């Protein structure tokens, strides 16, 4: 889902954009492909009642997150906050830090803070530290570079890929699988046979009721433990809008709160806006492109609107946050990019997060069934890298090893 902006050839991502940390699953194929990898740089700005100012809340949020402990009983993030950070006197500084922590969990993880488990969050933080996940990178041509790297690897094999092929049903018994597929015409079906199958469908697709477009029917149905594991993991909702302007108009804005600085080096913009609380630019490349990000409740609200109203809402939000005239911003606008992942029947949402008690459930979700059905995808990652591209790739390597082992035992 990498698009190209016609003027600068900068990649416009409608799906994943950042490489989170120094992860070999992504860096190795990109470097093998000769791709240019650039680290994200720039300043983070926050919207406060008194105006725009450089962000200072990160240490406060980190202090809250570091208090989570997976040695204690698992609980939701909201329950953890109430237990460890009670605020009966409504002290303003603590209340604001708690709001920021909730915004981080619901924004970055696209997770419901009342459902997401602290054990799952702690495991993710540990995995992030191992790869310097606080650092973010982009590939020169976006994630299309990674796909091209894998295409080259596949071209050296005799593997055949069926594109535009919809899987409708998987009939299976130990050592034998029949996969019913069609190319959009459900009257013209074909059956592929194999001894093992690797299922990488998104979590929400696996949960979809059979008979719906994109849903996969298993005959016989999956074991009870596998079905139960699906209930412990959820899919987050995300709406992202990419806006392309004639120039970087925000560079001409000098925040009232910090007059010596302008927004020319702005990389991220954080706020408590109801609809689009998070924005980022193309820094360190100075291009007239800015992305609006909405997750969890914000995405749910936007999901009720059509494309034109979502774009309109994003422009209104951006104008309000940077203190610019809506008319000026609309006159600057050249192109908009948007994709509705929630309404796509083959994704049905963004990426996964674990609810309370999810650790054992994710292992059950990833486990093979009768050495015949194998499972991969970011939701099946058991190392703490759910919701990332490198976690998805790592799960594929893990499942491939399981299949090889099964075929030789």
Secondary structure (H, E, C), the chain: CEEECCCCCCEEECCCCCEECCCHHHHHHHHHCCCCEEECCCEEEEEECCEEEECCCHHHHHHHHCCCCCCCCCCEHHHHHHHHCCCCCCCHHHHHHHHHHHHHHHHHCCCCCCCEEHHHHHHHHHHHHHCCCCCEEEECCCCHHHHHHHHHHHHCCCCCCCCCCEEEEEEEECCEEEEEEECCCCCCEEEEEECCEEECCCHHHHHCCCCCCCCCEEECCCCHHHHHHHCCEEECCEEEEEEEECCCHHHHCCCHHHCCCCCCCEEEEECCCCCCCEEEECCCCCCCEEEEEEECHHHHHHCCCCHHHHHHHHHHHHHHHHCCCHHHHHHHEEEEEECCCCCCCCCCCCCEEEECCHHHHHHHHHCCECCCEEECCHHHCCCCCCCCHHHHHHHHHHHHHHHHHHHCC
Please, which pLDDT band fits residue 7 given cuts at 50, 70 and 90? low
- The model's pLDDT over 141-185, given as tens digits with 9 standing for 90+, comes to 999 999 999 999 999 998 889 989 999 999 999 999 999 999 887
Q: Which two tokens stand for residue 326?
A: 């809506």
Rounding to the nearest 10 degrees, give the CA dihedral for residues 62, 63, 69, 75: -80
Q: Output 253 or 238, whichever has higher pLDDT.
A: 238
Question: Across 19-28, 42-51, 160-169, which has the greatest mean pLDDT?
Answer: 19-28
| Mean pLDDT for the chain overall | 93
- The predicted pLDDT at position 374 comes to 98
The answer to whether 169 and 216 have CB atoms below 8 angstroms apart is yes
Q: What percent of the chain has pLDDT over 70?
A: 98
Phi/psi at 371 (nearest 5 deg)?
50, 30
> Of 105, 76, 55, 128, which Cα lies nearest the Cα of 355?
76
Phi/psi at 240 (nearest 5 deg)?
-130, 140
List all residues 6 or more positions away from 355 whose beta carbon is below 8 Å from its beta carbon. 76, 115, 116, 117, 120, 232, 233, 234
Please, which pLDDT band fits residue 259 given cuts at 50, 70 and 90? low
Given CATH 2.60.40.10, say whether it is the number of domain 162-235+346-407. no
Among 109-118, 126-135, 156-165, whose mean pLDDT is lowest? 156-165
The answer to whether 304 and 297 have CB atoms below 8 angstroms apart is no
- The predicted pLDDT at position 258 comes to 54
The answer to whether 146 and 139 have CB atoms below 8 angstroms apart is yes
- The model's pLDDT over 188-217, given as tens digits with 9 standing for 90+, comes to 899 999 999 999 999 999 999 988 999 999
Q: Where are the domains of the chain?
A: 57-130, 162-235+346-407
Average pLDDT over residues 93-115: 94
Please, which pLDDT band fits residue 359 given cuts at 50, 70 and 90? confident
First vs last C-alpha separation in the chain: 39
- The predicted pLDDT at position 11 comes to 86
**Cα 194 from Cα 372, distance rounded (Å):** 9
């Amino acid at each position: 889902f990498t698009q190209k902006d016609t003027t600068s050839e900068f990649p416009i991502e409608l799906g994943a954009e950042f490489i989170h940390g120094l992860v070999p699953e992504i860096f190795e194929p990109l470097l093998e492909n000769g791709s240019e990898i650039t680290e994200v740089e720039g300043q983070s700005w926050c919207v406060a009642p008194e105006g725009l100012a450089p962000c200072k809340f990160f240490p406060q949020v980190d202090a809250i997150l570091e208090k989570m402990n997976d040695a204690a009983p698992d609980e939701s993030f909201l329950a953890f906050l109430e237990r460890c950070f009670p605020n009966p006197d409504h002290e303003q500084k603590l209340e604001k830090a708690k709001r920021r922590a909730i915004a981080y969990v619901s924004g970055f993880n696209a997770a419901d803070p009342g459902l997401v488990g602290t054990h799952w969050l702690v495991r993710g933080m540990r995995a992030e530290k191992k790869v310097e996940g606080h650092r973010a990178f982009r590939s020169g041509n976006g994630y299309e570079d990674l796909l091209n790297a894998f295409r080259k690897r596949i071209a050296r094999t005799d593997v055949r890929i069926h594109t535009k092929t919809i899987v409708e049903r998987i009939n299976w018994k130990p050592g034998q699988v029949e996969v019913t597929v069609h190319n959009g015409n459900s009257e013209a079906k074909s059956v592929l046979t194999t001894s093992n199958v690797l299922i990488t469908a998104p979590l929400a697709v696996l949960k979809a009721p059979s008979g719906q477009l994109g849903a996969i029917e298993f005959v016989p149905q999956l074991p009870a433990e596998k079905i139960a594991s699906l209930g412990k993991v959820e899919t987050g909702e995300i709406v992202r809008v990419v806006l392309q302007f004639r120039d970087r108009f925000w560079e001409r804005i000098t925040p009232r709160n910090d007059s010596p600085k302008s927004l020319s080096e702005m990389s991220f913009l954080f706020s408590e806006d109801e609809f689009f609380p998070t924005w980022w630019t193309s820094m360190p490349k100075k291009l007239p492109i800015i992305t609006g990000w909405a997750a969890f409740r914000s995405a749910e609200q936007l999901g009720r609107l059509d494309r034109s109203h979502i774009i309109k809402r994003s422009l209104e939000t951006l104008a309000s946050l940077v203190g610019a005239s809506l008319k000026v911003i609309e006159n600057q606008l050249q192109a908009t990019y948007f994709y509705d992942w929630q309404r796509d029947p083959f994704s049905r949402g963004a990426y996964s997060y674990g609810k309370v008690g999810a650790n054992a459930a994710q292992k059950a979700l990833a486990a093979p069934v009768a050495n015949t059905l194998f499972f991969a995808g970011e939701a099946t990652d058991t190392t703490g890298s759910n919701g990332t591209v490198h976690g998805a790739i790592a799960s594929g390597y893990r499942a491939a090893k399981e299949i090889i082992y099964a075929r030789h035992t």
